A and B are shown apart, each in its own frame.
Chain A
Amino acid sequence: MDFAVIFVIAVALGFDYVNGFHDAANSIATVVSTRVLTPRIAVVWAAFFNFVAFLVFGTAVASTIANDVVVQSVLSIGVVFAGLIGAIAWDLITFWLGLPTSSSHALVGGIAGAAVAKAGFGVLITEGLRKIGVFIVLSPLLGLAVGLLITLAIYWVFHRNRNIERLNRGFRRGQLVSAAAFSLGHGANDAQKTMGVILALLIATGHLAPGSSTPVWVVLSAHTAIALGTLTGGWRIVKTMGSKITRLQPVGGVAAESGAAITLFATSIGGIPVSTTHTITGGIVGVGAARRLSAVRWGVAGRVVWAWVLTIPGAFAVAWLTMQAVDLLS
């Protein structure tokens, strides 16, 4: 394996680390904002479940990223590198602004932008991009609906219980499970995107035959990188997700995380790359909407939606420019 391939794999794992740093903050936002765990223990808890996700889920999402975004013949070391730079730059810009955008869609936008810069719009696979695009809209709505239905079910089951303090204590323990489930889903869906990029690179450079499955060392290194990113944490976004959209009690935390976790499990099994940010935002809004719509701070939720809309074009543009620079230099 030559130096350029190793370097781009290192950049991909760097993206995975930034993804953990940027997105995994969402998975511990509710558990921290409801004071179930201290921030330090919460990141260790989330990182552990990020890592063990490889034992539970397959690599269907990795296959979608490697095969269904752009035609494989256009992929090269330069394209993958430029795509990753576009995604990382967009992630860091939105991290600096405190916006909970999607690293996943930044990656898709970045790879698409770099491929288009190299060979034009004809290299985009419309079917794959349409599937990803549809779930940009559906995943938060799915998280919202499931989060809301779980909240209603909890209210219905426990509506006769008058001992609120005891009930809250029970849900605080329950949040440990729901946070773990969400981190598991996060590790499964997000780490696989990096695996997909590395898989595409290895196929493009002839290190693997087309249609190969993801090697174990790629799976392990991607999960390690995202878990390390989670350990480092990203507190600006935790604040936005955990308290600015709606105030959460432990019962709400359980419902939001469970809704988001169910969405992530289903999409990971279905091979659909979705954003953990989108799903947990949907779950949190669902919990707020179960009480009353005014419990949701729509100004913040609207800002989040704008960030979603801009993510793919933003990462696309940065990657396009990077690809032009790579072409000039080479």
Chain B
Amino acid sequence: MLELDRVSVRVRGVPLLRDVSLKLAPGDFVALLGPNGAGKTTLIRTALGLLPAGEGSVRLGGQDVRRMSGRERAAQAAWLPQHHRIHEEISALDLAAAARFRFDETRQASLDAARAALARAGATEFAARLVARLSGGEQQRVAFGCLLAQQAPLLLLDEPANHLDPAQQVSLYRLIGDCWREGLGVLCITHDVNLLAHAARDRESSVRILGVQCGSLAFESRLDAPDLGQRLSELFGLRLGEARLEGRRVFLPAEVAP
């Protein structure tokens, strides 16, 4: 359970988050949308205790995140950073095993769990390969495998499908949707609201959408809300039109630059 209560964050005098409150429990799906620089990544970093909250409180599993040990934090939430490239000459399997630092277990147990997590993320075929030599899409699969290897009840995802081709994007969001269905809580930053449908599938009404603007929460809505297009248009300052595609609603920029 992640609880942000009226959190404000300033870095060197610049306000990055203002009065943000948010709750994420296992089984929840919250998507954070907003323009670049709105504070979405700052919100996740604050939730992880990487940035101190100037005001308000950040709690993970009921405890103040700044007073928790690393292992206690890691047992609550796992994080997929934005296009994080690994340059170390280390195999995908070793990387996923290293993600299990929070467990006090034998090497064999780490390896077994890491293999299972990589298999789940569709990364089995490159488990033995060096991460630095994998393509962007393969690296992202390995990174997702590491996320699952941590076995935390909450997943904090920062633009998980960035730099992936369309087929990879869809399959990654389907996987995120599967994890959610199994009871994990998902907080997902994305610029592409249309991809969320692949995670939500028949549960669109359960996907909460939070619009973030200038460090504040601008609105809260649902993926199936009738006025979502209007809200997103205001959020991004760009008129988004709705279209129906094989029974699904998709949003596309309706304005063409002159």
Q: Do they bind each other?
A: no
Give me the interface of B with A, judged by CB distance under 8 Å.
Answer: none
